[in-house]
Structures are given as C-alpha cells and as structure tokens.
Amino acid sequence: MVGGLRNRAGLLVLAAISAADCAAHSMNSLGPFAVGELVRGGRFSIMQAGLWSCVEMLAYAVAMTAIAPLSARLRLRLVALLAGIGLVVAQAGSAFAVGVWPLLALRVLSGSCLGGLNAVVNIGASRLGKPVFVLAFVMVVQTVVFSLASLLLPHASALAGQKGIFLALAGLVVVLLPLLFFLPDTVLPTPGANPQAGYAAPAHAAPVWALLAVLFYTGGSLAVWPFTQRIGLSVGLAPSSFGVLSAVANIAGLVVCLATVLQSRRHITSPLLVPALVLAGGVCVVQACPPTPWLFCTAFVLNYAAWFFVYPSLVGLTCLVDPTGKLASRAGGAWMFSQAATTLFASATQTHGLYLWTGLFSLALCLCAALATLRVTRPHAGRPGPNMQQASQPAYSACGPNTGTGPD
C-alpha cells in the first residue's frame, strides 16, 4: 500500500474520502426513491420528474467540469464541507418545497454540491497515489451504506411522504459530515512530474484517450439503465422478482469491488480492463433487448457487477495519467453529460418497451472505450505499459503534500 495509506492518519483520510463518496453518489443510488415519492404524491408528472433529474445531472456535470482546472490548488476539506452543508440545505429544503420551480432550483444547488463532493473524491484518490485501490475501496463502503439506506427509505416514505424521504437523505449527509474534517486541507506544492511518460499515446494525447474511455463506457453501459425495470416487466419479470434481482446484483457488485481492491495492489491498471469493456458491450445488447427473462437477469447482474470494476479502473487510469486530479474531475463531468445524452437517445428509440437500437449503440460505445483504453495502456517503444510499472509516488500523504522521502 502507498505511503499515504500506511498509517492511522492515512486510514482516516481514506474514511473521509469514502464519506465524501457516499454523499456524492447519494442521489445516483437513492434518487429513485425521491422521484417515486414526488410522482406518487402528485407533485410531478413523469415528464417533470425526468426534467427534475436532468437538471440535477447537468448541474453535477457543470460543477465537476468547472472545478477541474482548479484541482492542483483545491483544498479538499473546505470544498467538501461547503458542498456537504449545501447538499443538506438542498435536501432539507426539498422536504418542504411545494412548487415545481422551487424544487428545480433546489436540484441546481443539490447537483452543484454533489459534483463538488465527487470532484473531492476523484482528486483525493489521485493525490493518495493508488487511485484504483482508493476508488474501489470507497465503492465497497458506498455499496454497504446504500444497501442499508435503501432498506430505511421506504419506511421514511411511508411515515412522512416527501418530507420523510428528503429529510432522510439530508440526515444521511449530516451523519457523514464529521468524517469530512479528516480530509487534508493543503494544496499541491508543485506540479507533478510528466505522468504520461510510460503510456502508449503521446503525452498530449493520453489525457484525451483516457477521458474518451470514460465518456464512451459510462454513456454506453448506462444508456438503458433508467429503463431496466420496465424492460424486465416487458419480458415477464414480476416487480417483486426485480427487487430480488437488484439484491443479487448488489451482492455481486460488492464481491467485484472487493476483488478490485485486492488486484489493484498488484496492478496499477488491470490487464482485464479491456476484456471487461468488450464483455460489457455485449451484455448491454442482451439487457436492452432480452429474448428470455433468464438472459435478462444474467445480463443485468453482469452489467451491474462490471461497473464496480470498470468504472474505478477507468477513473483510476485518468488519475495515473494526470496525478493532479484535473482529468479525473473532468471524467466525472463527462459521465454525467454522456449518461444524460444516451438516456435521451434510449427514450427516443425504444420499441414496445425494448431497446435494441440502444443496446447496439451501447455495444459500439463500449468497443470505442476499449480501443481508447488500449491507446493509453498498451506498451510501446520497448517500455512497459502502466500495468507493469511501479506505482507512482503519492502526490498527497495523509497529513499534507508528499516530500518524496517516504516509502512507496
């Protein structure tokens, strides 16, 4: 393990990044409970609910993209605390808001704060020096926290409706806020060394290919995701069975997360990343237009589990290409923009509840992601690719900038 994660202080930083990650992704995983309650309570039509989610997603993307140029000078603790407090205000305000426009305005605040928190996660992972390990670890924590929260939110909805859901979401962030104080609050002292030296693509092209890999994969693998339950129903899967399927997928995702944590200690970039991208593309076709319920269930679990390996690996790759975290922050924004665009494509091309064209489009995007990843990771000019190189020195230790004297 890297020097920044060897001691107790380093573990506290890892816990703080995990807390920021849980807050940053709370609406990605738990947002459907809020959407469902707003529609069920008559606040929104289906179209308005889609707009509500889209506004938050775009604010999320804009925030991450805006923060990216400031990554080397970003004070993680300050940004995380401000974003966390803003998110509590947005969620608590949504508990009592009654009009469409106030709810939309609060989603702009919420999305901006979520984007700020996610930028802290990605930049923090870059600075600690083992980005794939850090990102996979925080996804393990995230999976456990959200699995527990998903059991509690239906009770909050039953007890207090809209107020219950949003106050519960605000309460989750309040619980996580104290951990954010363990984030370092200093900046990088100097720009990092040339991070692209061992990559296949030229130094100026490696960041572009790494960012494209994230853009293609997130857009492709998530294009049909909002409509997955509807697809399951169209092939005869009962709603209760879909709930069981989701639980199985969560367990599979947790197992994959743990495996990713272990393998990331041996490989900076896993040799399985490109094959996993190709597999994900094929699985997306089956998930979008399944011939049988069993094939749908298999594709759903495989796609869900693959995300927990591929996404931290790709974002980790952007951290390795640019250890300042600037590229990783842009990658988070790219995810939001690409998912918004491909989800719109899916809704426009569906036929009788099935999404064959979206599945084929997802396959093409995942293949493009595999090619972009190869452009960054394959060896060239007699030099090893990044998966064979020694891990880079952490740019940030637990207590501040790395001086270069500690063990790797």
Q: How far apart are CA 244 and CA 262, in angstroms?
A: 28
- Which of 50-54, 161-165, 255-259, 263-267 has the weakest average pLDDT? 263-267
| 8 Å CB contact between 216 and 372 | yes
- First-to-last C-alpha distance (Å) of the chain: 7
Angle of helix 293-321 relative to helix 206-222, nearest 10 degrees, comes to: 160
Residue 176 pLDDT > 70, yes or no? Answer: yes
Average pLDDT over residues 129-148: 88
**pLDDT of the residue at 352:** 72
Mean pLDDT of the chain: 84
Kindly report, residue by residue over 358-371, the tens digit of the pLDDT.
999 999 999 999 99
Report percent pLDDT > 70 for the chain. 85
Q: How far apart are CA 252 and CA 299, in angstroms?
A: 12
Residue 159 pLDDT > 90, yes or no? Answer: yes
C-alpha distances (whole Å) from 117 to each of 5, 48, 236, 334 are 21, 26, 39, 15
| 8 Å CB contact between 320 and 386 | yes
Res. 203 pLDDT band, cuts 50 70 90:
low
**pLDDT of the residue at 353:** 67
Q: How far apart are CA 277 and CA 307, in angstroms?
A: 10
All structural domains of the chain: 1-185 (1.20.1250.20), 195-389 (1.20.1250.20)
| One-letter amino acid for residue 276 of the chain | A
Q: How far apart are CA 14 and CA 137, in angstroms?
A: 9
383 strand-pairing partners: 380
Tell which phi-psi region holds residue 382, choosing left (phi > 0), alpha (psi between -120 and 50) or beta. left
- What is the total residue count of the chain? 408
Residue with tokens 């930083």: 13
Return the top range by mean pLDDT from 32-36, 117-121, 385-389. 117-121
Residue 272 pLDDT > 60, yes or no? Answer: yes
Res. 154 pLDDT band, cuts 50 70 90:
confident
- Which of 105-109, 278-282, 316-320, 392-396 has the weakest average pLDDT? 392-396
| pTM higher than the cut 0.85 | no
Kindly report, residue by residue over 26-44, the tens digit of the pLDDT.
998 788 788 888 888 888 8
**pLDDT of the residue at 217:** 96
**pLDDT of the residue at 96:** 96
Q: How far apart are CA 285 and CA 25, in angstroms?
A: 26
**pLDDT of the residue at 1:** 40
- Which of 26-35, 65-74, 78-87, 363-372 has the weakest average pLDDT? 26-35
Res. 115 pLDDT band, cuts 50 70 90:
very high
Please give the structure tokens belonging to residue 18. Answer: 């995990």
Q: How far apart are CA 360 and CA 364, in angstroms?
A: 6
Residue 403 pLDDT > 80, yes or no? Answer: no
Res. 23 pLDDT band, cuts 50 70 90:
very high
Kindly report, residue by residue over 301-360, the tens digit of the pLDDT.
999 999 999 999 999 999 888 888 889 889 888 888 888 788 778 877 777 767 899 999
**pLDDT of the residue at 6:** 55
Residue 200 pLDDT > 70, yes or no? Answer: no
Res. 246 pLDDT band, cuts 50 70 90:
confident
Buried b (16+ CB within 10 A) or exposed e, 294-319: eebbebbbbbbbbbbbbbbbbbbbbb
Angle of helix 8-24 relative to helix 26-40, nearest 10 degrees, comes to: 30
